[in-house]
Amino acid sequence: MNTPPSKIICVGRNYADHARELGNEIPDRPVLFIKPPSSLVALEAGISWNTAWGSCHYECELSLRIDRPLQGETDAQKALQAVGAVTLGLDLTLRDLQDQLKKKGQPWERAKAFDGACMLADWIDVSEVKAWDQLRFNFQVNDEIRQQGDTSLLIFNIADLLVDINQVFSLQPGDVIMTGTPAGVAALTFGDQLTMTLHGQTQDFVWKTFVK
Ligand code: ZN
């Protein structure tokens, strides 16, 4: 299924070690924000941003595709059944600008929802997920592992996230949820070669992109 998303819902601070590395408190409910479909950019296109706004950080995240409509669902199992595919994505963030916006108490969209701020790899059928709390992935910059994700370490697990999100936003087929990034975020530099690896049930899925 290739329905374009009506929205991409992102979860902030869902790994305690990442919240700490940016000096943020551990949240008592999920921190949510949205990227519009216009922020999507293909792996092959590579990453670019307006350098007048300062640094751009990578945040590699397990991402979910919703295949069935979901509205106000409170049953965790039913919510999970609406997920049809998974992949890895990059929640690209203009960190210097985001820091300025945070200090002023302003919304983050300028730093996180700009054109090119969301890169999603190819969708993998949900049958590759053995258990929602046992998914692991990693992110490499120029062959050095910078981030390691493990859904057993999420502050809010996938089922709880879906239920919480669905009390706020109805979900349509094609909608995407980015579940938060582990520690290790840092600034990208021109020419960086980036590799995302998702450990599936039967094989590893590997995707490459670059900073142009
Ligand atoms: Zn993120």
Q: Which residue ranges form the domains of the chain, and what is each CATH number?
A: 8-134+152-188 (3.90.850.10)
Position 1 scores a pLDDT of 53
CA of 69 from ligand 1 middle (Å) equals 24
Contact 174, 162 (CB under 8 A): no
3-class secondary-structure state, position 108:
coil
> First CA to last CA across the chain, in angstroms?
30
CA of 118 from ligand 1 middle (Å) equals 10
CA of 5 from ligand 1 middle (Å) equals 18
Going 101 to 157 to 56 to 95, the CA torsion angle's sign is: positive
CA of 68 from ligand 1 middle (Å) equals 24
Least confident window among 14-28, 49-63, 184-198: 14-28
Model confidence pLDDT, tens digit, residues 34-59: 999 999 999 999 999 999 999 999 99
CA of 13 from ligand 1 middle (Å) equals 7
CA of 3 from ligand 1 middle (Å) equals 23
CA of 12 from ligand 1 middle (Å) equals 5
CA of 77 from ligand 1 middle (Å) equals 25
Structure confidence at residue 3 as a pLDDT band (50, 70, 90): confident
149 contacts: CB under 8 Å, gap ≥ 6: 15, 60, 61, 62, 135, 136, 137, 138, 139, 181, 182
3-class secondary-structure state, position 207:
strand
3-class secondary-structure state, position 57:
strand
CA of 168 from ligand 1 middle (Å) equals 19
Structure confidence at residue 90 as a pLDDT band (50, 70, 90): very high
Give the Cα separation of 27 and 184 in Å (integer). Answer: 19
Q: Quote the distance between the C-alpha of residue 131 and its chain's center.
A: 19
- Please check the confidence at residue 102 and state whether its pLDDT lies above 90: yes
- Compute how many other C-beta atoms are within 10 angstroms of the C-beta atom of residue 25: 9
Structure confidence at residue 170 as a pLDDT band (50, 70, 90): very high
Position 59 scores a pLDDT of 98
Position 88 scores a pLDDT of 98
CA of 193 from ligand 1 middle (Å) equals 20
Model confidence pLDDT, tens digit, residues 114-133: 999 999 999 999 999 999 99
- Please check the confidence at residue 198 and state whether its pLDDT lies above 90: yes
Model confidence pLDDT, tens digit, residues 130-150: 999 999 999 999 999 999 999
